[in-house]
Amino acid sequence: MNLKAEKYRSYLIDNVMPFWLNYGLDKENGGFFTCLDRKGELFSEDKSVWFQGRGTWIFSKLYNDVEKNPAYLQAAKLGYDFLKKCFDSDGRMFFIVTKDARPIQKRRYYFSETFAAIACAEYYTASGDEEALQLSRKVFDLLLYLYKNPSALKPKFNPETVKMKGLAAPMILLSTAQVLRTHDKEFEGKYDDFISGLMEEILNGGYFRHGHLFENAPPDGGPKGRLINPGHAIEASWFLAIEANRRNDEQALKKALEILDASLNIGWDREYGGLFSFVDYEGRPPEQLEWDMKLWWPHTEAMIATALAWRITKEEKYKIWFEKIEDYSFDKFSDTQYGEWYGYLHRDGSVSNTLKGNLFKGPYHLPRALILLTDILGREDMGQGYFPL
């Protein structure tokens, strides 16, 4: 393993994961607390169901791919056992629950379910628990139904007034199916077929326009049709890139790299550095008031995407981008005193909020990036078929 890869592995094991092992585990009720301040002290006992799935996946993947540390497997089991309590009677999942899994909020989105599916699949490989694999399949089948039958859910926009669809669903489902395919070889073909359809939707369904990947499609002539979320677009680009590399699909890889290039160029703040949260394609004021904040997760996704593009293509420009983003991220987000990363910065890079976790930030984007960067940078040859998820 080279020095760069070892740096990321060490930061993951010695800096980031101890924070969550020490402060995030609810050993009384099961599951994970994520509403933690800078020092790891709890400021709310409410639990994000997203992060019961995301955390279970992270701890399982650590055990599977990084280190056979019993503490990781124990934490994964803590999350998996709690996750099973977060289903409603209709098979859907809640979005926020109490510390003992009583429901607080349920949303129309099915992202709690996507993260539950990957959690169960990864935990199955870590533990050998057949029940987890069966639950992963069951949740995935529900996701298939909901995706193919959007009328089963309350729409975000009135479909009679605004003909609009969002990138988030096909993007996250693409990653979900990629993870499940890795752990459920019996139905590999089923996942492959679904992935093919999702790639077609993302690249040819109205989101990919003018070389950019837009947050919504088709455009309605208003601000929603001009909106770019650089973090989402960059994240989608590396999902597409690893799939294109696996399939030896040169056209898909070319488009994935085009999305990455365009997203970095329009999303990077040339005055202060870092990636904007939202950008209007025409340069008009975005609707989102937090548009110019710098959030932790787009930067972790950009490090993955540029490192992957650099290793696949060997193009120097991606190495330059990777090092620029790496320098900014570790300088601005990293907390050298208490560990982990801050999540939210002002435009100038100053810390907006010292929390380390909330209902939307927890053990996922940063540890995932560190796991994948350790692998991407540590390999001698990427090769066709390389697939880190």
- Which pair of tokens denotes residue 185? 């070889």
Tell me if 266 sits within 8 A of 278, measured CB to CB. no
Distance, CA of 307 to CA of 237 (rounded, Å): 12
Confirm whether 29 is domain-assigned.
no
Helix (H) or strand (E) holding 104: strand 103-105
Confirm whether 387 is domain-assigned.
no
pLDDT of residue 341: 98
Closest CA to 269 of 261, 279, 259, 254: 279
Q: Is 248 left (phi over 0), alpha (psi -120 to 50) or beta?
A: left
Confirm whether 281 is domain-assigned.
yes
The terminus-to-terminus CA distance of the chain in angstroms comes to: 19
SS3 label, residue 37: coil
Tell me if 119 sits within 8 A of 53, measured CB to CB. yes
Q: How far is CA 324 from each of CA 203, 216, 288, 302, 317, rounded to the nearest angstrom?
A: 28, 29, 26, 10, 11
Residue 372 CB partners (closer than 8 Å, separation 6+): 304, 388
Residue 141: how many CB atoms within 10 A of its CB?
13
Confirm whether 244 is domain-assigned.
yes
Q: What is the span of the domain harbouring residue 234?
A: 165-356
pLDDT of residue 221: 64
Q: What's 182's domain CATH number? A: 1.50.10.10
Domain total in the chain: 1
Distance, CA of 40 to CA of 329 (rounded, Å): 21
Closest CA to 213 of 232, 195, 240: 232
Confirm whether 6 is domain-assigned.
no
Question: What's phi and psi for 105, nearest 5 deg?
Answer: -145, 140
DSSP string for 324-352? HHHHHHHHHTB-TTT-SB--EE-TTS-EE
pLDDT of residue 311: 94
Report the C-alpha dihedral over residues 349, 354, 359, 362, rounded to 10 degrees.
Answer: 80
Residues 63-89: tens digit of each pLDDT: 999 999 999 999 999 999 999 999 999
Which parts of the chain fold into alpha helices (H)? 3-11, 17-23, 49-61, 70-83, 111-127, 130-148, 168-183, 188-204, 223-226, 230-247, 250-267, 296-313, 316-332, 365-378
Confirm whether 297 is domain-assigned.
yes
Residue 319 CB partners (closer than 8 Å, separation 6+): 306, 310
For the chain, how big is the Rg over CA atoms in Å?
A: 20
- Which pair of tokens denotes residue 369? 């990036």
pLDDT of residue 15: 97
pLDDT of residue 154: 84
DSSP string for 152-190? GS--SS-TTT---EESHHHHHHHHHHHHHHHH-GGGHHH
Confirm whether 200 is domain-assigned.
yes
Residue 280: how many CB atoms within 10 A of its CB?
16
SS3 label, residue 132: helix
Length in residues, the chain:
389
Confirm whether 351 is domain-assigned.
yes
Point out the residues of the chain with pLDDT beneath 70. 1, 219-221, 383-384
